[in-house]
Amino acid sequence: MSRPARATWHSCRVSITNSRPIRASYTGVVHPEETFRETRLPWRREARCVLASRTRSTSPCSKTDNRQGKPMVAPLPFSSSFYLPALFLLVVATAAAAVDSAGAASLDDEPPVGLELALTAIDHDDPAGFRHALDRVEETQHGEVIRRHLRTLWLLDRVNEEPAAVAAQLREYPEDPMMPRLKRRYLDYLADRSAWGEYRLVFDRAPEITPGAKRQCVYWQAEIEIEGTLAGEQPEAALATWERGRSQPKACDPVFDWLEAHDYLDEQAYRERIRAAITAGQDGLARYLVGRGPAGLATYRDRWLALRDQPASAVAERIDVEGDGEEITQGLLWLAKQDPARARSLRQRASRLELIDEAQSASVSRLAALKAAYRYEPQAFEWLQEVPVSARDHEVWTWTVRSALRHLDWSRVKQAIDAMPEEIASEREWRFWHAEAEQRLGRTTAARAVWRTLAETPDYHGFLAADRLGIRYPLPENTRRPDPPSAQTLAALQARPWLSLAFALHRLDRPEDARRLFNHALADVPEAELPALAWQADRAGWPDRASVVLARMEAFHAPQWLSTRFATPYRSLVEAQAERQSIPPAWVYSIMRRESLFMRDIGSGVGASGLMQLMPATGRWINRQAGLGLAPLRFDDPGTNIALGAAYLARMAERFGNRYPLAIAAYNAGPGRARDWLPAVPLPGDVWVDTI
């Protein structure tokens, strides 16, 4: 069974309640696939589910801008679990109207005069209109900064026409938030014109950028053209670029020619790149390198292809001939993904013959044990415990517990958590399961003491702990909004030019630039002004930025911020589509918050688009299957996107017998994976959740 990357899939936290809390592990049972269609989880009045991201990052909300490839949401140091969809219901039912600070200047006031005119002129390539708009902007508060920003936006699409103005803008305002984009475009302009001296000067000056392979290679070419050679660490850096396992931009060819002319591309370098190409699945590149490089590389390539494609026999053959340890290790790692037991057996043999060192052996032992654990194989616990301490990372420690938990072996659960490093054992998930193991082993007093502490915090394991104790969840009876900030604090925020401009761009529906300017300005906002900024973002209908500020404030569980953290934007659209599809709107909001943090214009690394983050192919499929008749499919349109997402969630709920935890797992990771995660025998729901 293949598993998704840990950073891209999420488990569904299940808690089942009746008129009073019931222990989820006793009543929520996940059944094996053979009884899947006939058996339902015994939902009572309400099922509570939360999506949790098991990543090393503390941010469950980091997304990537689909054009720039940069984080558009600051990492959020949330706990490893999110709140329940029920909390959205609490917020919707009790949220009070926001109260303005009387007479205070506000960041969400009308945008400055001329700003919208200037943006329209930029969009329509209207120089006269742009100049007129700039004159009007100059008369407003922060007019100089707004004018600079607009001038940069104008130049971004006119580098070819106004290169001198671009160069001047970069020299004068290198710290402005849009300058990295302008610098990249100006470098491309200079490269096209072989302006080597200017290219090198601009490349080395602020602002600092991540140049990528193409611009870095052009810089090295500029060095060669001007100095006649590469010096210092440059040749080795260029060689490392050449040795990558994928084809590099054509702009790198002159640099690679220099490397070849100066004898850097020897047989060893070709071997390194062939191996990297085969590892990356770039067999065509490997074939090209064999034809271009020194004689005899075909045998080397074929050996690596065999290690990748037939690892069991190829590794055994390399051991028989006492081959290279690096080749044997990589072959064993490939084999561990297919046949962990066979990989362990061959690893032991290679170790006895001293063909691989301790670190190489440990890496194979680690991967084989983890793959067995991912497949819930009964021997996984012993294998994970055999992994040398030097190779035990967070994944090994936690899956050692999960492998015992999946088989309801409470002695081993306790043993594995007791052996964890303190920083991992102190995580709330493992504190909860350690207490559960104590309870199952007869030490009820100790277990209940831990649960009482956990139940004070309204997160997933806090809710489970409350279930175990039979007490109410630690949620407020009513939500309330925070008190409005003082006029003085609001004025201080308004006085920050980039922040003020960010809110103006948000109001004018320029979300990407608005977020970029907001993030730029946020770094300089003092702690004392953060509550006012969160209040202001919430008031402006900007829930994703409000969440970013709350994360920095660490105000996750403060009752006055619940309606801000769990906002309900696009409420009429969500409720209409939820009613149309006969699904709870709170579940739609839960997915929307987790998938996109309510942003409509962001994209995931695999091509999903905003809000509920459906892949385009999935969106087209559900549009046909559900008979929505939406055309054209504009995924950045909230109405279209929410309609598609709600229909797909409804289809997953239908497919999984209206068991929403399974439906949401299927929504996020695909129905095939959700079925793969079903246990071979009935399993308590909370155990299933924490072992997928």
CB 59 within 8 A of CB 78: yes
Q: Say if residue 661's pLDDT is above 70.
A: yes
Instruction: State yes or no: is 423 an active-site residue.
Output: no
In DSSP terms, 101 is beta-bridged to none
Domains 10-60+83-95+568-689 and 393-475 share a fold: no
In DSSP terms, 73 is beta-bridged to none
Domain ranges of the chain: 10-60+83-95+568-689, 393-475
- Distance in angstroms (rounded) separating the CA atoms of residues 47 and 63: 28
The secondary element (H helix, E strand) that includes residue 490 is helix 487-494
Residue 618 token pair: 């999935």
Classify domain 10-60+83-95+568-689 at the CATH topology level.
Answer: Lysozyme (1.10.530)
Number of H helices, E strands in the chain: 38, 4
Q: What is the mean pLDDT of residues 374-400?
A: 97
For tokens 């997160």, name the residue. 459
Phi, psi of 15 (to 5 degrees): -140, 130
Q: Say if residue 14's pLDDT is above 70.
A: no
Q: How many CA atoms lie within 13 A of 56 on its CB side?
A: 5
Pairing of strands 10-17, 46-53: antiparallel
Select which of 38, 438, 595, 654 is catalytic: 595
The three-class DSSP label of residue 570 is coil
At 132-175, the pLDDT tens digits run 999 999 888 899 999 999 999 999 999 999 999 999 999 999 99
At 258-301, the pLDDT tens digits run 999 999 999 999 999 999 999 999 999 999 999 999 999 999 99
pLDDT confidence of residue 112: 86
For tokens 């691989």, name the residue. 356
pLDDT confidence of residue 78: 29
- CATH number of the domain located at residue range(s) 393-475 in this protein: 1.25.40
Name the pTM for this structure.
0.83
Residue 634: pLDDT band (50, 70, 90) is very high
- Distance in angstroms (rounded) separating the CA atoms of residues 623 and 257: 51
At 200-243, the pLDDT tens digits run 999 999 999 999 999 999 999 999 999 999 999 999 999 999 99
Strands (DSSP E) contained in 500-558 are none
Q: What is the mean pLDDT of residues 592-603?
A: 93
CB 96 within 8 A of CB 481: yes
